[in-house]
Amino acid sequence: MIGLVASGLFGIPIGVLGGGFEELADEEEEGEVEDEDESDDQYEGADDDKCKPFEKSCYQFVNGVGSKAAGIFELVTYTLVVASVALGIVQTCAGYESFMQEVDVMIVVFFSVEYMLRLIGAPADATFATNASLGGLKARFRFMCSLFSLIDLLAIVPFFYANGFPGSWIDRNDEYLRMLRLFRLLKLEKYFPSLTLIDDVFRLKKQKLIKTIFAAGTLWIFFASLLFLAESEDTSNGIDPVPLYGCSAYDDGANVRKKRFFLGIGQGKKKLASNEMDCTMSDRFTNFFDSFVYTGIHLTGDYPLIEYNTLGRIINFFIVVAAVGVVSIPAGLIASGFSELVEGRVARNKSRSKTTAKRGNAGDDWYELRLAELQGQDPPKSRFGPTCDDLQYVVHNFLNGDSGASLAFRWIMTTVTCGNVLVVVMESIPEVARYLDREIPFDVIGAFEMSSVAFFTVEYVLRLFSAPKNVQALFSSWTYATTFFGLVDLISILPWFVYMYLRAFGHVVSGSEIADVFSVLRVFRVLQIEGLWGVAFSKLDNVFRASKEVLKATALMAMIVWVGCAALFYIFEQNNPNFRECDPTVPLFGTENKPGCYDFASTAECNEFYPGMCSQTAFSDLPSTLFLVAVFLQGEWGLTDFTWPGRLVCMFLCVAGIGLYTIPIGSLFDSFGAVIGMGDDGEEDEDGSEKEKMD
């Protein structure tokens, strides 16, 4: 109940406070910087008389202009960028360092050729072409110094250097240099501008950002100071060991000690009394800067740390009530400004387009357009005669009408569907499954499943039969069978028939894992309720079409924030001793001849000395780090005890990263509302129609 209702009600005052502050900023703002009109000709070339034909051909080819082969080359470039990033992620996992290495070589060769073609074609690019009489040298030099050229070089040069000079520094640090491949994501910026809009966002929201950043920064510093004062002497609330921050208790046989570490390197010992052996909150809040990081995490609305003393809890109460709403405004402004710029660009592109399709709503596709054409038309006559027509009308009115029998049928369908979902859930509980096997003399679930399938099968056949009289099926049984609702009805019964066939021929045994898969597939029957009472999932394709232009830029921005921050966390945190665990036989600290778990600078070194006894519980590879960062980007901080470089990444996510990452989701929600008619225009139309009725 707290999650469903109370959290939303508690958040209302915070939202009102933040919204009121933003309104005041709007009132005091004297004006906003107008978005400058920029040329939307993405590949505007230089004058033909200033470049050679071969240079122009190379330029057009790598930019997908001029021929079908060029378009294919551009598509291959997109694909290999994504493949390169995915391969770089997988190769960070233990045992997969050489995974698909041949493909990796092919990708490097491809991008090397692409770079050479771009270098040759630079004089034909208006961005780098000049009027100087130096041939193409100056244009090529300007290209080599550009951002995208440096990205290409960072991703290509280390590969050739490491293979040409085995044992070199680059070869020894290949694990870290592989992360440079992730920069290839920025190559997509040329096709879907996103990062280049950030400066425009700051100009657009300059006045608001100045006011809100000052207020948010002031509150952040103020509460960080208070938390430091409250928790720096808090030795009563124990926490897990954090050796990086100087708290790893151990007993050397004579004295209980703490050992201070930085990135796994010991920096001295401190004798403690036995009652001081446990780590406490004071080890986290050793100075103002430590407090600043944890306060920033709390200001995102998440509380992974709750072991505060009484004064700390009072301070955190005021952080929740007074500060969270205000501090989140700058991130919201950056996100909304970015969305405004992208949507403005899309709107200008559409207004300049010479041909636009007629659409009833945002995201309409062939189905909606054809449905609009058929509205008001009579269904076609059946080739089987009037009797078949009459029967199809009867079945159609029963399945889709508003009579008492039709409503009763829908409620029965809903009950059976929910019953199937409930059975799947209950079957997954071992105690329930054992009780049914032991106490019930016959297979209740099997009987219910068979009757449900029979019911759904009859309903599916009836809908196929009556589809020629249903305008929603475009008067076609084939259209019904191949669109959302027909496929949902088919999926609700087909797995059962496939399972029974495989079971009859001995390919599947009851109770096996494959049988369990078929059993769980029944949960998808819940989608049948979609066709009975409303429209939601069937409109998702319209939602994506309505927002695809905005998603191109915003999704790339979110991807760059996610993958980029994950790569940084992986580099900075993969050897953080706060997330290291060792076998109980391995001492936490040791001697020069026999070092302990936290005496090693890296987990790999620990495993070399103690094979298989040391492990990193977090950030051990890039896939697991991507998962953790995805959680962080939702404002949920399951881990907080980072190194200082990791803390800087953490603060970036708190300030701007979370806001930027959520833009695509916000765009999808806006488009969903537009598709189902919940936009402002729809509200105005409703108001207008009501006024007309009153008149």
Average pLDDT of the segment spanning 69-78: 85
CA torsion 588→590→596→600, rounded to 10°? 120
The CATH code belonging to domain 366-534 is 1.20.120.350
Residue 511 is classified by DSSP as T
Q: Report the run of H or E that residue 111 belongs to, with start and end.
A: helix 101-121
Structure tokens at 507: 């390919």
How far is Cα 257 from Cα 278, in angstroms, rounded to an integer? 10
Checking 590-598 for CB contacts under 8 A at 24+ apart, the result is 596/250, 598/243, 598/248, 598/259, 598/261, 598/264, 598/266
Three-state secondary-structure class, residue 269? strand
Question: So what CATH class is 48-190?
Answer: mainly alpha
**CB-neighbour burial class of residue 655 (10 A; exposed 0-12, middle 13-18, buried 19+):** buried
Alpha-carbon distances, residue 143 vs 119, 139, 340 (angstroms) = 7, 6, 31
Average pLDDT of the segment spanning 5-17: 46
Structure tokens at 356: 């636009």
How far is Cα 667 from Cα 675, in angstroms, rounded to an integer? 12
Of 217-231, 264-278, 397-411, 560-574, which gets the smallest average pLDDT?
A: 264-278
Three-state secondary-structure class, residue 271? strand
**CB-neighbour burial class of residue 296 (10 A; exposed 0-12, middle 13-18, buried 19+):** buried
Instruction: Tell me the per-residue pLDDT of 177-214, one tens digit each, with 9 for 90 and over.
Output: 666 677 777 777 666 666 667 777 777 777 887 887 88
The one-letter amino acid at 51: C
Name the segment(s) of the chain with CATH classification 1.20.120.350: 366-534
- pTM for this model (two decimals): 0.64
Residue 29 is classified by DSSP as -
Instruction: Tell me the per-residue pLDDT of 96-155, one tens digit each, with 9 for 90 and over.
Output: 777 777 888 888 888 889 889 888 888 888 777 765 445 578 888 888 888 778 878 877
Q: What are phi and psi of 440, to 5 degrees?
A: -95, 125
Q: Report the run of H or E that residue 582 belongs to, with start and end.
A: strand 580-582
Q: Per-residue pLDDT for 391 more than 90?
A: yes
Are 539 and 676 in contact by the 8 Å Cβ rule? The answer is yes
C-alpha torsion sign, points 668, 672, 678, 680: positive
Structure tokens at 139: 């244009």
Q: Per-residue pLDDT for 299 more than 80?
A: yes
Angle subtended by helix axes 288-299 and 206-231, to nearest 10: 120
Q: Report the run of H or E that residue 219 belongs to, with start and end.
A: helix 206-231
Structure tokens at 16: 């009102």
Q: What are phi and psi of 475, to 5 degrees?
A: 55, 40
Alpha-carbon distances, residue 373 vs 178, 231, 400, 575 (angstroms) = 55, 69, 21, 64
C-alpha torsion sign, points 318, 319, 321, 327: positive
Distance spanning both ends of the chain, measured CA to CA? 45
Share of the chain above pLDDT 90, in %: 6
Three-state secondary-structure class, residue 599? helix
Q: What is the predicted pLDDT for the residue at 314?
A: 92
Instruction: Tell me the per-residue pLDDT of 518-550, one tens digit each, with 9 for 90 and over.
Output: 667 777 777 766 655 555 555 666 666 666 666
